[in-house]
A and B are shown apart, each in its own frame.
Chain A
Amino acid sequence: MTALDLSTLGAGFSDEALGSQSVFRAALHALSHPGRAVTLPHDAQTPSRGHPASAALLLALLDPDCTLWLSPSLAGSDAAAWLRFHTGCVLVDTPVAAQFAWVAQGDECPRLGSFAQGSDAYPDQSTTCVVDVVALDEGGTDAWTLRGPGIRDSASIAVVGLPRTGATAFAAQWRANQEAFPRGIDVFLASPRQIVGLPRTTRIETHMAQEA
């Protein structure tokens, strides 16, 4: 057993129940309206590495039964100790073993196919990924067009600074993820204050797709 260094650790939600409930509500809202940027209200003292919104989201979602994979720069930071202390989650070394994954801005995201995909009988056992990006803007010229359940006609979201996901583009991997339904991963994109839900049912149309 290794002792955590607690001296630099921040506090969690000031009220554990109400704090995680309001974040959970926002997460539900984000997943039921894919492509909508949802502001996460929280009062946790989040770690220095990683976005506050993603830290608060994971703080609300994780418990001691959960396994978590962290991207390299997060795994070596106070974020790992912070989540371990407050949630008691188990850190794992491989994305495929994780129920939750957190990719920091600037780190390379593993291929989406390398996360746990769930099975046809238990599609819920796939990984839920939280991916930090620089900014999320609804609309804009360079935006993705999203279609699928929870979206009336189409939603448009511009994602700035998406981590690289191996050799192929995120949108192409996302298509494969979406076609594997009911299996597949769910993604939360997080800017410092906001999150956008991308459930596995959502289709992404990029304006670059035709050219690539």
Chain B
Amino acid sequence: MSRRHLAGLLAVAVCTQMLASCTRRESPTSPEAGEAERRGQALVAVVQCFVDHNVLARSEAENHSWFENGKVQQTAALVDWASSHAETSFSGKTLQVWEDEATAGWPGWRCPL
């Protein structure tokens, strides 16, 4: 039996264990659903970081309803904006990459600029 096969079996065994201990779905507390929560907050921090360091011009941010009194708001309009800028490059990395890094380090992530 190859090592890879063994690892696969192990993974299946762990999954089965987890499934067995899991009862009815409680969506907001599951780790994956928490991911959307973290990613939402991380997005705000990332875009705020862009504005604060002029990677995204303040005048550009002010064109959008998600920017109020110098602060990025966690609204539907922000999510829509992020969707259409996923592959846009900011300071050498796409928004998507920024967001992935910030989400991975959340809530400890700090603006590196």
Q: Decide if A and B are genuine partners.
A: no
Residues of A within 8 A of B (CB): none
